[in-house]
Amino acid sequence: MKVFLYCLIPILLFYCSSHADQPSKRTESKTDNVVNAEEVLSSLAKRAISDISKIEFDSTKIPRTVEGGKLKGTPSKSWTSGFYPGLLWQLYDFTNEAALKNAAIKWSMVVEKEKMDNGTHDLGFKIYCPFGNAYKITKEEKYKEVFLSAASTLSTRYNQNVAAIRSWDFNKDVWQYPVIIDNMMNLEMLFEATKLTGDSSFHYIANQHASTTLKNHFRKDNSSYHVVDYNPNTGEVNNKHTHQGFNHESAWSRGQAWGLYGFTVAYRYTNDKKYLQQARKIADFIFTNENLPSDMVPYWDYNAPNIPDEPRDVSAAAITASGLYELATHDTSSADKYHNWANKILQSLSSKKYKCSTPPFFLQHSVGSVPGEFEVDAPIIYADYYYVEALLRQSKI
């Protein structure tokens, strides 16, 4: 018996010592896969401060993308005009650096007049990104008044027959009353307007729009069409398109990201579980998709014909990561899963592969529109905006 024990002791010691190392290795591996968000944000803020002096202030050239190796700006009329000032506000909130605040104010004022533009659905992007952030950070009433005015303007595009806000006014020979999945991103401003004013009409419009989008935009696999066209008189669906994707039945990657983020926000304000359930379903569609690369930065369309030789869309990844961090706060039972996916995305976006050195952009390899043949494999400002937002959200976990 003693001989048996003497023989067994070395085996037991080896087993225990070898297995004792395993938990610490798993912990190190998990830690290594999480970006130090505060460290990255500090670096980005320094970059942004340095870049401010390198960019000519021109009210007609708000930073949007890079073309021919040079910064390409856009007028305030563009749907992307609010992202650069919004980005500066986010970085100011993190650093409290006066240079960032001053630049944020200057560029925001360029966009302010768009609060009265009733010819677009993109007032959330244009106005709420800069002025919503400005109000949250400073609590100055003047900023709140700007996006409340924009909320009133946006409400004029609502059609009770369709129970949704009209998106585009162009291509009237193609569609009568188009509603795009992107429009889910403009609802936050309306929900917030009711929260701040008590006027329930804003919440009603936003909730109706979200409900109509949920009803008509999604396929059985929970991927989304880009455009649903309605009869404005009856509310009946005329057709379903994917304007910026590979074809009408494909899953345009940024569209899936807009949906995940948008329905998460809709749940935040309504507590309606159907919105939370849809956000979960979209997340599962994305992260179980066989065409999602291992670094979790998707191709511009999940059904693009030449995968893996197709452009990636960093903007879709950044939007998705930010949405996942909020989704984790509402769906706590799956929080670890959402955090792991989002952390992996941030790890990838923070790597050398996706970094951009052209001022004032942080990331490269985004896609505006492959069918439209513009901003393909380029830095685009909204990718940076949601990248910074995702880092801020990760830093607060």
Instruction: For residue 205, give both structure tokens.
Output: 């419009």
CA dist 69 and 358 (Å) reads 8
Whether 164 contacts 209, CB under 8 Å: yes
Q: Phi/psi at 96 (nearest 5 deg)? A: 65, 25
Long-range contacts of 366-372 (CB under 8 A, 24+ apart): 366/313, 366/314, 366/315, 367/254, 367/300, 367/311, 367/312, 367/313, 367/315, 368/65, 369/244, 370/244, 370/246, 370/300, 370/301, 370/304, 370/311, 371/243, 371/244, 371/245, 371/246, 372/244
Q: Which member of 122, 229, 331, 384 is catalytic?
A: 122
Distance CA 122, CA 319 (A): 16
**Residue from 155, 143, 38, 40 nearest 82 by CA:** 143
- Residue 329's CB is within 10 A of a number of other CB atoms, namely 14
Q: Is 182 a catalytic residue?
A: yes
- Catalytic position from the list 93, 182, 331, 384: 182
**Is 122 a catalytic site residue?**
yes
Per the structure block, which two tokens stand in for 99?
A: 């240079």
Q: What positions carry a catalytic annotation?
A: 122, 182
